[in-house]
Amino acid sequence: MNIGDVLTLLLVIFTALDYIDHHNNDKKK
């Protein structure tokens, strides 16, 4: 596993968390 794989994985995780967070905020309104 090289640094590129790690950065890509982190990017995917943070993107997913950000999407989920916005989705939850939309539900609360």
Exposed e or buried b per residue across 17-27, where buried means at least 16 C-beta atoms within 10 angstroms of its C-beta = eeeeeeeeeee
Q: What is the pLDDT of residue 23?
A: 80
Q: Tell me the per-residue pLDDT of 1-29, one tens digit each, with 9 for 90 and over.
A: 799 999 999 999 999 999 988 888 777 65
d(CA 29, CA 22): 11
Q: What is the pLDDT of residue 25?
A: 77
